[in-house]
Structure 1
Amino acid sequence: MKNVFVDGYNVINSWPELKIIKDYSLDGARQKLIEMLQNYASYNGLKIFLVFDAHLLPKSLEKKEKFGEYLVVVFTKEGETADSFIEKRVNNIGRKADVCVVTSDLLEQQVVFQRGATRMSSLEFYHEVKGVEKKINNKIEKDNSCKRNTIEDRIENDILEKLQKIRKNH
């Protein structure tokens, strides 16, 4: 399974709809990103590590939370940036596993590339995630349009019975 490390705040500050949400609720922007990445990861069968800086929060400890099988959200500990967390993990697995790092930080992109990972900018990733959202929505629409949509499906049973009696009497 491919591992994808995402610099959470870098993405939030790069994606148009998340920037708008962030202006009134940083937590709301984080939650929206988590939702989007859950769908993307499960659709593609990827393991995503969404990493948020907590390095400026005094006495913060590293915190990991799993969202299903495919998404792990990480808040770094005090004094550790998302970049340094990602670099350490990529250093450990970058040459043994298929790893991609999502960040628009050019220095970070160079470092992780040297450690065996591929890299993708936050905006490239945005377009990829939006493309998957479109595929999912098209599939849902197609599945829904294949179902028969009859009047019997939309009216209450007692009215349906009365209509059937009327039909039989004529």
Structure 2
Amino acid sequence: MPEDAGQDPVPEDPTGQSRWRSLRLLQQDMDADIARLYADRGLPGLKPSFVMELIRLHAQGPMTITELAASVQRTHSALSQKVKAMREAGLVRTVPGPDARSKRVTLTAKARGVVGALAAEWRATEAALAELEAEVPYPLSRVVDDLRAALARRGFHERISARLAEDPEWG
């Protein structure tokens, strides 16, 4: 009798297949290239994920975390974590806000000293993305717009719920 007789079979791992993993990996690789540019320029502690908020604070002045989150279309929780990381990197500081519960986020001298370079990188990145999209038959920005239109017709929640209703494991 085989040694594994009577044992449950190994379950199928659905995570081996992912339609969008390659998109996440592509963005990760591109962010790594941007981070390399910062390292080449001598900008330690700067992450590509900080740049939009730093440029926005420079352009619009100090904001509460709630205002900054709305400005960059992120959740308050996500922005609060990011502000903490940017504060630890010496790029922003927080000061008391208009009421006892809020904090205003402001740039440090370190951030003000590099924000011009960050804006230049942003413009160069957008130009490089436009160039890249021109090389492919169906640009990613058009794909995103088309997916948003399709989801407006039938939402993602509804699509997933319909699939789950057919799956006995969801129960």
RCO comparison, higher one (Cα < 8 Å, 6+): 1
How would you bin the TM-score normalised by the shorter chain? under 0.3
TM-score scaled by structure 1? Answer: 0.27
More strand per residue: 1
More helix per residue: 2
TM-score scaled by structure 2? Answer: 0.26
